Amino acid sequence: MGRVTARRRAHHLTGATAEARPETLVVEEPLEIRVDGSPITVTMRTPGADVELAQGFLLTEGLIAQREDLVSVRYCRGADVDGVNSYNVLDATLAPGVPKPDVDVTRNFYTTSSCGVCGKASLEAVRLSSKHCPGDDPSTVPAAVLSAMPAQLRDAQKVFNSTGGLHAAALFSVDGTMLVVREDIGRHNAVDKVIGWALENSRIPSTATVLLVSGRASFELTQKAVMAGIPILAAVSAPSSLAVDLAGQSGLTLVAFLRGDSMNVYTRPDRITR
């Protein structure tokens, strides 16, 4: 497995002084995901939890619906460089009977660490492709429990503490128990890693949970929460208008600007109790 941090020299300027010193940076490397040997996507990610990342991506893009839809997810030996596996290519083998994806890889599935899969066709396309829509989930979470989650997430961000350059996502139960936390240079990758963990641990649909993200609530992250059947998505920063629209149509509770004891609840406020 590749490293998650690297050392590079930088010139540090403070007022009239300058000092050359090594800095710890987060690693960014490409990961190619294949399905039955065919390339599906290339995403720029921080190495680590790659199998979870691949599983989460396949689920949130509607290519699989459950862990049983996969036979295996393995690194490709064909990716060897000078006889050493680069660990930058994964191949997922679908179970018999699971339809193979039919995608234009040059148009639909090249992702970057900043935006992920941009330009999904419509809100309706996401709604129709979701097999785990959270609208009927009756779970609730006390506002005080929700307010305590960002501090728990921040304390768990081990790589962020040394680099300052990572997004994070965590899945909590509605009683405030942190189930899993993952970091990545791409916010969408961090969420896919969390959802991949849930898939591997038979927690799809992820009922009675809260997905917390360290940045903004974009349309794509909202889509991923909907596809995983997560009833509550919370973000420490702002939501987009399309994220709010999708949450409203899907019955997802969308919380943003979650800071201290303050928050904005944009959809399904009935799930947040006082």
The residues, any chain, with a CB within 8 Å of residue 105's CB and separated by 6 or more, are: 39, 40, 41
For residue 16, report the phi and psi dihedrals to the nearest 5 degrees: -95, 0
% residues pLDDT > 90 (the chain): 66
Residue 227 has pLDDT above 60, yes or no: yes
In the chain the domains, ranked by start, together with CATH numbers, are 134-271 (3.40.140.10)
Here the tokens at position 254 are: 């969308």
Which are the catalytic amino acids? 115
pLDDT value at residue 24: 74
Q: 156 exposed, middle or buried (CB, 10 Å; 0-12, 13-18, 19+)? A: middle
pLDDT value at residue 114: 45
pLDDT value at residue 265: 98
Q: What is the pLDDT of residues 150-203, one digit of tens each?
A: 999 999 887 655 556 689 999 999 999 999 999 999 999 999 999 999 999 999
Here the tokens at position 55 are: 């599983």
pLDDT value at residue 80: 54
Q: What is the largest CA-CA distance in the chain?
A: 67
Whole-model pTM: value is 0.86
- As a whole number of angstroms, the distance between CA 211 and CA 100 comes to 29
pLDDT value at residue 117: 45
Q: If phi over 0 gives left and psi between -120 and 50 gives alpha, with beta otherwise, what is residue 179?
A: alpha
- Read off the pLDDT of each residue in 6-17 and give the average, rounded to a whole number: 78
- Read off the pLDDT of each residue in 59-88 and give the average, rounded to a whole number: 81
In this structure, what is the dihedral angle of CA atoms 219, 175, 135, 133, given to the nearest 10 degrees? 60
